[in-house]
Amino acid sequence: MYENPSFDSSFDLLVIGSGIAGLSAAVAAAAAGAKVAVLERSAPEEFGGNTRWTESYFRMKNEDEVSDDFEELLVANAGHHIDPNVIEAVSRDYAQWPGYVKAHGMPDPELVSTLSTQAGPTVQWLKKWGVRFAALPTYFVTAAAPRLMPVGGGLALIEALQEQARKLGVALYFETTAHQLTRRDAQGFLQVGVVSQDGQGHQMAARSVVIASGGFEGNPEMMTHYIGPTARYIRPVARGGYYNKGEGIRLALALGAAPAGDFSSFHAEPLDPRSPLPEALVMNFPYGILVNRQGKRFVDEAPGPVDVNYDHISRAIKDQPDGICWVVFDQSIDDVPNWKRSIRTDQPPVQASSIAELAELIEVDAQGLQQTVDQYNAACSKGEFSPLKVDGLATQGLEPRKSNWARPIAQGPFLAYPIIAGVCFTYGGIKTNSRAQVVDSDGRTVPGLYAAGEATGLYYQVYTGATSVLRGAVFGKIAGEDAALQARSAQP
């Protein structure tokens, strides 16, 4: 069993969580001379949170530049019906913002701009620790944005950072959970109550704390509280999500932090419930139809490129009976080059010689499915099918409409995959400023408290793809550097 270091030390910085945000903060602070400890609830062989299990795409054209639509999409997804007074206030210098605006849950322009401008420097910083980047193939057959990827995915990121953390003398505490956070004084000295691997309680002191413990997708109580009763149909897309139980968010809120992001929503992915693999995704639905247990369609399967639309389509699945649907398609799928790249499950599709037989095998209402397929086929219009770009080949007079790649399902054998909404991460979290400092409900910073990654609230509506791991790295690095600066400037 892994032996943790002694718990009797005080630190310049305590980092809660060892995913991309936590390890970026730890390495940045330790490289600047700070005494750092990392608290991680998982065992050593499963450290890394969600980052460990993902490809960790970065929404970047190259190693220095984000995509052209980067800031535009993040600002466009800032929430619903935003007060014009808030919009007017954020056009001013940050120092002039009223407290209620600084505490507002929207992703303010300061955050978006910092994420955009610091993406390139953060990639160069990660390369210093041995991470290599490349524009490798993705599981998207059609894509609207470029994606840069660390070679080896998220695992390569966190392994490189943990190795560097060890070299810099960072103390790593595994199977250790933070459960209490208090202020020792008004200058930023904080006390963290932890439970160690042997079940014993300990108190740890630090000049600063970074909350980088992810969202609450691994906590069914919080999921039901914020997402609603359909949360029972949802599961994390990978094992890392089960470790994210929301304590970090709750600790910060209890200390006065302002909430941010959409607590009622989450980043969803279309998951094959039969598979034990991480991110067992089924992304070929733009070339078929999605049907529920009644055999009915319920969503436009192809409003545009799949990388833009899979998030809200996946969330719509949780609202169907039993939170499940099936993508039904036929042999014409072979007209789509490399379509199997969009299938990440290890389970085969269900196959049948007729629609009626397929309905029986997937336990869908046979009459409903046959009627749905017949109506869909009749609504398909003639036109040029262009599988790798938006082709406008839409259904006519059908509700819901299918906007692209609409061709009859008529070439047997017929196939189907089951799909549920998998939760990649939750949207609601802690409000922070551009220095990753936690902001309280009056717009003031909470002395010594930082947050980064999925524990912070940034997203509403539709996730801006390939930005989550990037924001963890950017703001984790910023938090670590700022905490180290505060430690150096602190009075004895």
Q: pLDDT at residue 462 above 90?
A: no
Cβ neighbors of 261 (< 8 A, separation 6 or more) are 105, 107, 427, 428, 429, 456, 457, 458, 459, 460
Pairing assessment for the beta strands 201-211 and 190-195 based on DSSP bridges? antiparallel
Query: How remote is the C-alpha of 441 from its chain's centroid?
Result: 25
What is residue 178's predicted lDDT score, i.e. its pLDDT? 96
Instruction: Give me the sign of the Cα torsion angle 341, 343, 348, 349.
Output: negative
Q: What is the DSSP string of 268-307?
A: EEEE-TT--STT-BB--GGGSEEE-TTS-B-S-S-SS-HH
Query: What is the band of 1 on the pLDDT scale with cuts at 50, 70, 90?
Result: low
Residue 87 clears pLDDT 80, i.e. is over it = yes
492 pLDDT exceeds 50?
A: no
Grade residue 177 by pLDDT with cuts at 50, 70 and 90: very high
Angle, in degrees to the nearest 10, between helices 355-362 and 366-379:
130
- What does the pLDDT look like over 134-164, one tens digit per residue? 987 787 888 777 899 999 999 999 999 999 9
Task: Give the model confidence (pLDDT) of 182-208 as tens digits.
Answer: 987 667 789 999 999 889 999 999 999
Task: Give per-residue pLDDT as tens, 201-255.
Answer: 999 999 999 999 999 999 999 999 999 999 999 999 999 999 999 999 999 999 9
pLDDT, tens digit (0-9, with 9 covering 90-100), for 291-317: 999 999 999 999 999 999 999 999 999
**Sign, Cα dihedral of 317, 318, 320, 324:** positive
Which residues sit opposite 440 in a β-bridge? 257
Rounded to 10 deg, the angle between the 153-167 and 468-489 helix axes is 10
Q: What does the pLDDT look like over 340-395, one tens digit per residue?
A: 999 999 999 999 999 999 999 999 999 999 999 999 999 999 999 999 999 999 99
Q: With left for phi above 0 and alpha for psi between -120 and 50, is residue 232 left, alpha or beta?
A: alpha
What tens digit of pLDDT does each residue of 98-131 get? 999 999 999 999 999 999 999 999 999 999 999 9
Tell me how far apart the alpha carbons of residues 110 and 433 are, in angstroms, rounded to a whole number: 7
The helix/strand/coil state of 319 is coil
Cα–Cα distance, 438 to 427 (Å, whole number): 16
Task: Using pLDDT thresholds of 50, 70 and 90, give the confidence band for residue 9.
Answer: confident
- Tell me what the mean pLDDT of segment 462-490 comes to: 93
Angstrom distance (rounded) from CA 468 to CA 454: 7
Provide the pLDDT for residue 461: 85
Q: What share of the chain is helix, strand, coil (3-state, %, to 5)?
A: 35, 20, 45
pLDDT of the residue at 489: 80
Q: Residue 281 above 90 pLDDT?
A: yes
Domains and CATH numbers, the chain: 10-265+427-489 (3.50.50.60), 272-422 (3.90.700.10)
Q: Under 8 Å CB-to-CB from 81, ≥6 apart: which residues? A: none
% of the chain exceeding 90 in pLDDT: 89
Phi, psi for residue 308 in degrees, rounded to 5 = -90, -30
